[in-house]
Structure 1
Amino acid sequence: AAVTAGTGPQSQPTPAPGNTYQGALSMGYYNMSAGDAPLFQSLAQNYAISDNYHQAIIGGSDPAINWITHGDVLFYQDASFNPAVPPAAQIENPNPQSSTNNFYTQDGLLGGSWTDCSDLTQPGITPVFNYLDSLPYALFNNGNCAAGDYYLVNNCPSGGCPPMRLKRIDDALTAAGISFEYYGTDWSTVNANQIVTDIQNNNLPAISFVAPEPADDGHPGFSSVSALESYLSSVINAATANTTLWATTAIIITTDESGGYYDTGYIQPIDFFGDGPRIPLLVVSPYARPGFIDHTYYDHSSLHKFIEKNWGLGPLTSRTRDNLPNPIMSTSNPYVPTNRPALGDLMSMFTFSQPTPTATATAASNWVLRGTT
């Protein structure tokens, strides 16, 4: 996408536009009636999809994918993993540079990545809370900004982020004795293609998070929708071919974030960090409600609520949104919870009492989650 941030103080020149090197694909339009995205069309017609699932933070890929694993925003830490202050040039400053079309002063890969939202004197913080405080309901954890913590609200700056520790969903699963694996070299040493072999060899853990390798993840610039569909087909075909495994399996397909596309859908303010725009979510399972479009309000924390519901676990921490209640939705406006803030647990996308003939179990026990970067 085009560069929209400066590299330093307001004296810096206006940034030059970027280039995705894919022409119109960077803002692609896909016509399924003409044969585009055939796998996604088939999955939507035969399984369940959500049209009200959201990225959990208004930010880039790094904090979004961290939310899939942590259910929270990471904060800047020193070598002993204590809260620390990042370099000044890495602190977010959304104030516009003079003589520009509202280009941020410090933002993203070219500038700020961290913000202390507990400090109303920091650039951009007060206007956000002025809006949030005007809402007709209370924010989750009063905005969820711990005093003195600098949160990663955009992608890591050039050179990367420092090592950070925060409880992850796999920490809770390991403590409960539930098997788990990360597939994909974006977040582990296990190649994403290994999951196909593990499915075929009946070696799949109870819960797997899968990030396809970059060439297969569908990201503009280095992958494509057809490459992603090919990868998903290999995983889905392996799962359905193993009838014993398939009888207790669900494959949940989503992305980390929206890529910045404009969206007319409702976005529920939950805390300082989000929610963000809608993103795709499909459930492929013998228990998925076929052809069902779910309007329940969800975000990435719904993945954790789903796991916790299925395995009888509690919320990750007192800060994580899996503490929120399930939404109460009205027929007059099915997209906006009446008990805000609220997040669903994905259970309404399933019908466990009516599996397909190949599925005999009464509850799902193997789940595959996917998040691209």
Structure 2
Amino acid sequence: MKFRNPALTAACSILALIAIVQFSLFGPAVGNIHADDENSPRTATPIKHVIIIVGENRSFDHIFATYKPKPGESVSNLLSKGIINEDGTPGPNYSLAQQYSANVTGSPVFQLSPTTGKTLYPVLPAPLNGGPTNVCTDNGMCNLGDATSSEDGLSRQPVDYYESLLAGGTGLSGKVPDTRIQGVHGSAPYSTLPPGPFQLTNSGSFPYLSYANSPVHRFYQMWQQEDCNAAYATAANPSGCKADLFTWTEVTVGSNVNGNTQPANFSTDYVPGKVTTGEGATAMGFYNVLEGDAPYTKELADNYAMSDNYHQPAMGGTGLDSIILGFGDAIWFSDENSHALVPPHDQMTRFGGPVDEIENPNPVAGTNNWWTQDGYGGFGNNGASVGVFGGGSYSNCSDPSQPGVGPVVSYLSSLNPPISPNCDPGHYYLLNNYNPGYFGDGSDAYTDTNPNNTPFTIPGTTQRSIADVLLENNISWNSYNDQWDLYLGDKYQLNYGKVGPQSDQYCNICNPFQYQKQIMTNDAIRTAHITNTDQLYKDIENGKLPAVSFVKPSGWVDGHPASSKWDLFEGFVIKIVQEVQSKPGLWNSTAIFITEDEGGGYYDSGYVQPLDFFGDGTRIPLIVVSPYTKPGHISHAYADHVSLLKFIERNWHLGTISGRSRDNLPNPTTAPGNPYVPTNRPAITDLFDLFQF
């Protein structure tokens, strides 16, 4: 989930049905060196340009559950493990992914790995509907003029992806059982799904190009969903994370408690007239590439290279995972001048209150896992920030007595080898989605008192990011953000979700550099390096592409469930790939990395390596498109977002970001027969093994 201005929290959802045509992906043959590359800094490889495209909220198994590798390659997914069959039905080893409920009623503290009352679900709770009933009625996308005037980042070849913005509503209203899924019913029993992963597209009423609901993906929730316990550790899975509580956490606490009392009519299963978290077992859904789902993604994996051991760098959602992509580290609450402070805690703000921004996942007395303080922040109306409350998103993880911290730190210390939390004393680290400390024009968003602003904003930080390293070494870079130019004139994003030329679907929490004081308050640096995606297309066309490019689609096309679709992200990616491949010299010197910010809360069966207090989290897709890849190669080396930073640093002969950032971690070494688990933990790769130079 992405937190934005409270006046605009209703993210637009878009669905469609279009025919995907197969097409060639190889691009032009390797040609002459790009003209500007002759004077570029020396690199360790032929790669002079790195483009990092970041979509939204899909785990590896969610997309690649049934992917079959080329001969000589192997993959770790639901199909290869026998968890499912090629047709998406339960396989002989389905029990490896089965989900359990638990009972923590009476526990005064957060349960990282609950064992009391742990019981196999007989059937999954019904996954619930989410998204527009009708795209025209609910999203305002009624014709091609609406689509093309609202978004300029989609390809129109080999098919017109703008058509996909116009159709595909769920046909369902409200948080009711998603009867488009085979095994989900409109009357009791509402679910006959087995207690594990299920194919979303297993019926004619749920084609791939349809909208799907979005599961919870917050920090402590994901820690609990992974069910990590040193007592469960094995040689193949030394972290002891069983990933068997995805459903239970989803239906007991969800994502937006905000200090509210649990409703008297709360239910973990759908019952008419009862209140639920609005999700059901949404997290267990997956697509089937063997049956035509995600066709462009599969073609890229077949013809270039990908990783099946690439992870979101933190537990939870977009904000922290995007921050770590830029900083190689988490950031903390400060006075904007490097002095750590305590966030608002049970106190009034200029927007009202009381606000409690300190996370507290301890269960409320008498409830089964309903947390004390957890949420994106609540508001008393549907307009400006008036009557605010809740909002727990910070933890002082240096203090085990703090809510939620002790169980995680205790678990890390019990591992072999023990893992340091890497939390500085007295620092409250941001764990979930808060707005960055600066607006796009460089003005201070934390101190801004406009009623359209929000207190759920972290002050700007002076912590170092990869931008500092690149600037210090005169390596060119840009952050290209879809609809950035529209956001500059709409700092409170009052046009978020609107259709037409003023549509502002820019994602502020997705841009790590917008959190950083030395970037945002320096007019020359900010305006030179943070720009719109239409500038990316111009720079490709005119031979001006920088060495390092971070690229973020808008909310229309980022692939985020509940506001976008995976095929729309495919349409965004193909446009960039096609334009780079149309320039032979540029193509010859470019690597395009395609990934997600995080897994969106979807289940994944892969090994998770604890690196510190913050993560890692579930596996997510990573594909690299380059003439220097072996078609169909699959890397098993352990990686996360900071691996991209390590690639940049190694390729351009750069130092690390700071003394504590994750780019200091070594490349993994592994034992025979287990390429997924580093023996020198904690360790992450620099991704060089994805290439053949």
TM-score interval for Structure 1 and Structure 2 normalised by the shorter chain: 0.7 to 0.9
The residue number in structure 1 matching 2:560 is: 219
From 287, 298, 319, the equivalent of 1:30 is: 287
**CA 1:25/1:194 → structure 2, altered by over 3 Å: closer, same or farther?**
farther
Instruction: Tell me how far apart the structure 2 counterparts of residues 235 and 280 of structure 1 sit (CA, whole Å).
Output: 18
Question: What do residues 291-310 of structure 1 show as CA deviations (whole Å, max 9, x unaligned)?
Answer: 00110000111011100110
**CA 1:331/1:193 → structure 2, altered by over 3 Å: closer, same or farther?**
farther
**CA 1:192/1:63 → structure 2, altered by over 3 Å: closer, same or farther?**
same
The alignment status of 1:241 with 2:241, answered yes or no, reads no
The residue number in structure 2 matching 1:127 is: 407
- 1:163, CA displacement in angstroms? 2.2
The alignment status of 1:153 with 2:431, answered yes or no, reads yes
Helix, strand or coil: the match of 1:293? Answer: strand
Name the amino acid aligned to 1:112: G
The residue number in structure 2 matching 1:282 is: 623
Name the amino acid aligned to 1:129: V
Instruction: Tell me how far apart the structure 2 counterparts of residues 116 and 54 of structure 1 sit (CA, whole Å).
Output: 24
**Greater displacement, 158-167 / 169-178:** 158-167
Name the amino acid aligned to 1:192: T
**CA 1:94/1:176 → structure 2, altered by over 3 Å: closer, same or farther?**
same
Between structure 1 and structure 2, the one with the greater Rg is: 2
The residue number in structure 1 matching 2:364 is: 97
The 5 A counterparts of 1:181-220 are 181-184=478-481, 185=484, 186=507, 187=511, 190-220=531-561
**Greater displacement, 224-233 / 173-182:** 224-233
Query: What TM-score comes out, normalization by structure 1 length?
Result: 0.87
The residue number in structure 2 matching 1:8 is: 259
Contact 1:315/1:323, CA 8 A, preserved across alignment: yes
- 1:103, CA displacement in angstroms? 2.2
The residue number in structure 2 matching 1:117 is: 397
- 1:4, CA displacement in angstroms? 3.4
Gaps of 5+ in 1: 353-373
**CA 1:7/1:214 → structure 2, altered by over 3 Å: closer, same or farther?**
same
Instruction: Tell me how far apart the structure 2 counterparts of residues 212 and 183 of structure 1 sit (CA, whole Å).
Output: 9
Instruction: Tell me how far apart the structure 1 counterparts of residues 368 and 581 of structure 2 sit (CA, whole Å).
Output: 51
Helix, strand or coil: the match of 1:214? Answer: coil
Contact 1:108/1:156, CA 8 A, preserved across alignment: no
The 5 A counterparts of 1:257-296 are 257-296=598-637
Helix, strand or coil: the match of 2:538? Answer: helix
Helix, strand or coil: the match of 2:427? Answer: coil
Contact 1:26/1:220, CA 8 A, preserved across alignment: no
The residue number in structure 1 matching 2:56 is: none
The residue number in structure 2 matching 1:108 is: 375
**CA 1:227/1:27 → structure 2, altered by over 3 Å: closer, same or farther?**
farther
Helix, strand or coil: the match of 2:376? Answer: helix
**CA 1:219/1:315 → structure 2, altered by over 3 Å: closer, same or farther?**
same
RMSD: 2.1
Instruction: Tell me how far apart the structure 1 counterparts of residues 276 and 583 of structure 2 sit (CA, whole Å).
Output: 49
- 1:312, CA displacement in angstroms? 0.5
Instruction: Tell me how far apart the structure 1 counterparts of residues 539 and 283 of structure 2 sit (CA, whole Å).
Output: 34
Name the amino acid aligned to 1:266: Y
Contact 1:4/1:104, CA 8 A, preserved across alignment: no
**Greater displacement, 336-345 / 130-139:** 130-139
Instruction: Tell me how far apart the structure 1 counterparts of residues 326 and 310 of structure 2 sit (CA, whole Å).
Output: 17
Name the amino acid aligned to 2:415: L
- 1:273, CA displacement in angstroms? 1.1
**CA 1:80/1:239 → structure 2, altered by over 3 Å: closer, same or farther?**
same
The residue number in structure 2 matching 1:357 is: none
Query: What TM-score comes out, normalization by structure 2 length?
Result: 0.48
Name the amino acid aligned to 1:146: D
Contact 1:69/1:168, CA 8 A, preserved across alignment: yes
The alignment status of 1:72 with 2:329, answered yes or no, reads yes
**CA 1:307/1:79 → structure 2, altered by over 3 Å: closer, same or farther?**
closer
- 1:56, CA displacement in angstroms? 0.8
- 1:43, CA displacement in angstroms? 0.2
Question: What do residues 322-373 of structure 1 show as CA deviations (whole Å, max 9, x unaligned)?
Answer: 1111000223111101111111000000001xxxxxxxxxxxxxxxxxxxxx
Question: What do residues 225-269 of structure 1 show as CA deviations (whole Å, max 9, x unaligned)?
Answer: 111111111000000110010100000011111111122211111
Name the amino acid aligned to 2:574: S
- 1:274, CA displacement in angstroms? 1.0
Question: What do residues 9-40 of structure 1 show as CA deviations (whole Å, max 9, x unaligned)?
Answer: 7x5547854558xx999865322233221110
Helix, strand or coil: the match of 1:228? Answer: helix
The alignment status of 1:177 with 2:474, answered yes or no, reads yes
The alignment status of 1:228 with 2:569, answered yes or no, reads yes
The alignment status of 1:250 with 2:591, answered yes or no, reads yes
The residue number in structure 2 matching 1:355 is: none
Instruction: Tell me how far apart the structure 1 counterparts of residues 683 and 617 of structure 2 sit (CA, whole Å).
Output: 14
Instruction: Tell me how far apart the structure 2 counterparts of residues 163 and 315 of structure 1 sit (CA, whole Å).
Output: 22
Aligned residues, how many? 347
Instruction: Tell me how far apart the structure 2 counterparts of residues 349 and 278 of structure 1 sit (CA, whole Å).
Output: 17
From 38, 43, 47, the equivalent of 2:300 is: 43
Name the amino acid aligned to 1:161: I
Question: What do residues 32-82 of structure 1 show as CA deviations (whole Å, max 9, x unaligned)?
Answer: 233221110100000001000011111211000011111110100124342
Name the amino acid aligned to 2:478: E
